Structure 1
Amino acid sequence: MPLILLALPLAMALLCLMVTDRRLLGAISIVGLATIVLTTVLIARQVFTGSNVVWGQFIFIDALSSLILCLVGIIGFMVALYSIGYLDHDIQEGQLSERRLKYFYFSLYIFVFTMFLVLVSANLGIMWVAVEGTTLATALLVGFYNKRNSLEAAWKYIIICTVGIIFALFGTILLHYAAVSVTGESGSLDWQTLRRVARQLDPKLLKLAFIFVLVGYGTKAGLAPMHTWLPDAHSQAPSPISAMLSGVLLNCAFYGIIRFHLIITEALGPQFSSNLILFFGVLSIAVALPFILVQHDIKRLLAYSSVEHMGIIAAAVGLGSKLALYGAFLHMINHALTKSSLFFIVGNVCQHYRTKRIIRIKGLVKTMPITGPALVIGGLAIAGSPPFSIFMSEFIIISSGFAQGRNVVSSLILILITLIFTGVIYATSNMALGTPPSRVKVGEQGNFAVAFVLIPLLPVAILGVYIPAFIQTILQQVTAVFIGGNQ
């Protein structure tokens, strides 16, 4: 089953290269990603009801990787649905030629493959290669429109993330150097082996390795101050790709940090790596605040919101209690669904209004009777308003901080996310209300993508008031894998 999971996106990518008809490409994309979702769900079911999936020394899937695998599959499937109408509109407007569609879908499937490889790799070296692979795959998608701004964003993305990933490589090499005399060559980068022998490794080398890894993978995860690629990439990429970048790529990069964090925790106790992760988490929330308050570009606003929410997840992991970790992974689910929906919504808005400037988008509830109200709902959800699920996970995380006696940190996070709430709601209300420009037509213009903007918001609304038993079981198992015997 794991090999099928890796083979499917590669096979679909090659198939897309051989097809030129856009309708057939859309159908192939939907069928392919639906099959991928089914495969991820079957693997997750095996993990959550039985045991971890292990294949030789190269494949290892536990509850943590299963959760993110499912998110990649689900968000990818929704992107496939949404992309049909979104790309059709771009073709009709002359922004995209039909013959280039196959390269979009080819790169999308390669992107999915590289993220899956990150999540199933038992070897930390292979995981590093896969993370670098996500950079190369998504750079093509960020610069897909071949315009000056998009190509500049793609190059900036490549340069910054490649520099970051070199730091992660150096950290991985240091970990190998610390472990090879204990494990031998065959086990020096095997995650399970390293966790078992962690207490026998040189603590100074482990500390240095983790600092490099945190900076390296933190760059790709969008943690401040290494986040500078993210606003440009999200702003210039096609909206369905922005949804993938924000909804799942950032989680895959943070997954790399978690794997190293677990090894360091086994060797040195939780304080060293937890405090570093907590620091960068709170810093990310603080850095996102002023940019959200003064932002003029709607897609960059969502990008800085991603910096904030990755900061919240990192802060929760840094707090480290069972309750905080439960909240962290619930927040990971909430953010992936909400942000992907918002990028779908904003994609429709930008196409309809022909601008990303917030000041030029007015009266959405009048001009777009489905997308306009959806933007209001999505804005409330991502800002952390009750009764939506992000409020629930933020409440759990902050409550756990106060319960631990971390009053200063918890109060700071609460103040920061409250101020960010006002900025997001202010921008959303300005776009939704007011008098629409005379140049903008009323109606959704029959855009196929309109049918899917609300799909991810449905579970976000439900999870805010009720967490099903199976979701609770999943989160508890992920938390158990993460903390082991610690509280």
Structure 2
Amino acid sequence: MGMVNSLIKMTPETSLIMSIILTPILGGILVTIFKKKRLIEIISVLSTSIIFFLTFFLFLYIVDFKKITLFNEFFYIDSLSMIVLLLISFVSLVSSIYSVNYMGKQYQDGLVDDKHLIRYYQGFNIFIFTMLLVPILNNTGLIWVAVEATTLISVLLIMIYVKEDAIRSAWKYLIIATVGLSFALIGTVFFYYANIHDPFVSVQPEEDKVNWTNMLENSKTLDPMIVKIAFIFIIIGYGTKAGIAPMHTWLPDAHSESPTPISAMLSGVLLNCALYGILRFYLISSGAIGAEFSDNLLIIFGLLSVGIATFSILFQKDMKRMLAYSSVEHIGIVTLAFGFGGLVGIYGALLHMINHAIVKPLMFFASGKINQKYKTKAMFKIKGIVTIMPITGIMFLIGGLAIVGLPPFNIFLSKFMILSSGFSSNNMVASTVLIILLAIIFIGFIKNLVTMSFGKPKTQINSGELDNLSIVSMGMLVFFVIMLGIYIPEPLNILINDAVHIFNQV
């Protein structure tokens, strides 16, 4: 009844959030109705543009008012939610713009037909819808449902080319992610069990006790042993979907076989959606048993992720797989940073989530254009990008320098903050190991980057860019890669600081 009454008395913020949620559904329906190539491309770009601009207005609202609760707290959006929402909307927008020419070229080359192009744009819109639900929902059980739904939709997008390698990678992803998320479901049930059997909690409706806000409010009196067991299940479960090692094995295959815009969305925002699930339960766990237990787990898994990614990147021959392992590395860095804790550590972790979500789509977009031009993903066959494709080559070079953390690009700042927090929090061993691993990654990545960018091509390839629209999407990303390395806009700074405050309250 509360939700019905809220719908009848539609407030501006209710209208805003409902419009954000319903726009991708409408986009998917319109794609299904019209079916013409040019129309479905326009519909998808228009849909993501609307989502982005509505989300931007919601971002300004959250900066001022800090949180929104709707429908008796069925929807709950705070500063942490808003960071993830902002990333989903922005990466979706640039991916839809990039898709027009990229998928158009795949269509022209006969890699997809009309039927599969329609399926791509249907799946693209619904994929956005499922991701948007994750940071908006308050019910921890429904958050799990939304994350699982992202798996089912993205599997169909990974196998859109209907070729053996793509189908095999999609099935591997489906099986591993589903098994992993079953652990997350068990962890969610354990947290719920601890909440409903808390003798200090006043009588409340059972459906409220599965809400994150309710669990956090009662966290101080939850059974410590149950919470410890629950959080272990959560970090393994959601960690599988986030690409945290050693549960990451689906990620390189799925990223490398997906259409490039989907690879960008998987790496840039889907991993952050799963990480968001871990962070929500991390806050409850920290409130129940203190931060030490959870922090140690995050440090162990984070360092393991960076370590495995390091040597995978070092010996990698495939360009997209190298970028996929780079995602494992950066998710590991973010996980480590939350484990280090402190004001600087949490701020650096949140900023790194934002920075990686901007840089990695840039790298995937550039690699997609390079792959279409050179007809290969093998790095030893790709040389002279800056000469053959000057604009794409320069953007690829900027993205590569940013991803390894060189100044003045955005990732340098967040990496510096994370390392500073590691040493200041007396995590000397973990911080030292992290520096060594990052140095090894730097050597391996730069070697490949320089060779591909400036080496002499082995075969004759016609110079020139394939299209201009993809350059627009890459240019938008380059702008933020450079800007966020020099200056963080005040509204974004306020949003990140407000999210840091959420962690400091527990």
Tell whether the structures are fold-level matches, with TM greater than 0.5.
yes
Aligned twin of 2:208 = 187
Q: Which moved more, 1:215-224 or 1:429-438?
A: 429-438
C-alpha contact (below 8 Å) 2:253/2:321 kept by paired residues = yes
Q: Indicate which of 235, 238, 261 corresponds to 2:282.
A: 261
Deviation at 1:212, TM superposition (A): 0.4
User: Contact 2:369–2:466 (CA<8 Å) still a contact in 1?
Assistant: no
The corresponding residue for 2:63 is 48
Paired with 1:413 and 1:366, the residues of 2 have a C-alpha distance of 35
What percent of counterpart residues are identical?
A: 43
Who is 1:21 aligned against? 36
1:252–1:446 distance in 2 versus 1, CA, 3 Å: closer
* Equivalent AA in structure 1 for residue 283 of structure 2: L
Q: Does 1:161 align with 2:177?
A: yes
1:462 aligns with 2:483: yes
Contact 1:9-1:109 at 8 Å conserved across structures: yes
Distance in 2, matches of 1:309 and 1:483, equals 23
Deviations 1:397-437 (A, max 9, x none): 10111122222111111111111111111111111122113
Contact 2:362 2:396 in 1 (8 A): no
CA distance in 1, matches of 2:54, 2:396: 32
Q: Give 3-state SS (helix, strand or coil) of 1:356's partner.
A: coil
Match of residue 4, structure 1, among 11, 19, 22: 19
Question: What is the one-letter code of the residue matched to 1:483?
Answer: N
> Partners of 2:80 and 2:287 in 1: how far apart?
17
1:200-240 CA-to-partner distances (Å, cap 9, x unmatched) read 21111111010001000000000000000000000000000
Q: Distance in 2 between matches of 1:342 and 1:372?
A: 11
Distance 1:352 1:283 in 2: 36
Question: Secondary structure of the residue that 1:455 maps to in structure 2?
Answer: helix
Correspondence 1:223 to 2:269: no
* 8 Å Cα contact 1:234-1:242 kept in structure 2: yes
Q: Distance in 1 between matches of 2:263 and 2:447?
A: 22
> Counterparts in 2 of 1:240-319, with a 5 A limit?
240-319=261-340
Amino acid at match of 1:296: K
Paired residue total:
485
Distance verdict in 2 for CA 1:445–1:4, change over 3 Å: closer
Deviations 1:312-348 (A, max 9, x none): 0000001110100010111111100000111110000
Measured at CA, do residues 404 and 296 of structure 1 come closer, stay the same or move farther in structure 2, by a change above 3 Å?
A: same
Please report how far the alpha carbon of residue 439 of structure 1 lies from its aligned counterpart in structure 2 after TM superposition: 4.1
In structure 1, the partner of 2:137 is 121
Shift of residue 17, structure 1, vs aligned partner? 1.0
Q: Name the counterpart of 2:7.
A: none
Give the secondary structure class of the aligned counterpart of 1:54.
Answer: strand
Q: Does 1:368 align with 2:389?
A: yes
Deviation for aligned residue 1:188? 2.3
SS in 1 for 2:464: coil
Contact 2:81 2:136 in 1 (8 A): yes
Question: Aligned equivalents of 2:181 and 2:428: distance in 1?
Answer: 34
Q: How far is 1:447 from its partner?
A: 5.2
Contact 1:366 1:436 in 2 (8 A): no
Residue 69 (str. 1) matches residue 69 (str. 2)? no
8 Å CA contact 1:372–1:432 kept in 2: the answer is: yes
- Residue number in structure 1 paired with 2:122: 106
Query: Alignment partner of 2:390: what SS?
Result: coil
For 1:205 and 1:249, how far apart are their aligned partners in 2?
29
What is the alpha-carbon distance in structure 2 between the residues aligned to residue 91 and residue 285 of structure 1?
A: 37
- For residue 29 of structure 1, what is the amino acid of its counterpart? S
SS at match of 2:197: helix
**Does structure 2 conserve the Cα–Cα contact (< 8 Å) formed by 1:348 and 1:450?**
no
Equivalents in 2 of 1:345, 1:234: separation in Å? 14
Moved more, 473-482 or 60-69: 473-482
Contact 2:355 2:411 in 1 (8 A): yes
- Residue identity in the other structure for 1:135: T
Question: Hey, what's the Cα distance between the residues in 1 that align with 2:474 and 2:73?
Answer: 41
Q: Is the 8 A contact 1:89 1:447 kept in 2?
A: no
Q: 2:118 and 2:293 mapped to 1: Cα distance?
A: 47
State whether residues 355 and 481 of structure 2, in contact with CA within 8 Å, keep that contact through their aligned partners in structure 1: yes
Secondary structure of 2:372's counterpart equals: helix
The 3-state SS of whatever aligns with 2:377 is: coil
SS at match of 1:436: coil
The answer to whether structure 1 residue 381 and structure 2 residue 390 are counterparts is no
Counterpart in the other structure of 1:31: 46
In 2, Cα distance between the equivalents of 1:186 and 1:21?
44
Amino acid at match of 2:301: F
Query: Partners in 1 of 2:427 and 2:126 — Cα distance?
Result: 43
The two structures, once aligned, show a CA RMSD in angstroms of 1.2
Report which stretch shifted further, 61-70 or 9-18.
9-18
Opposite residue 124 of structure 2, the aligned amino acid is L
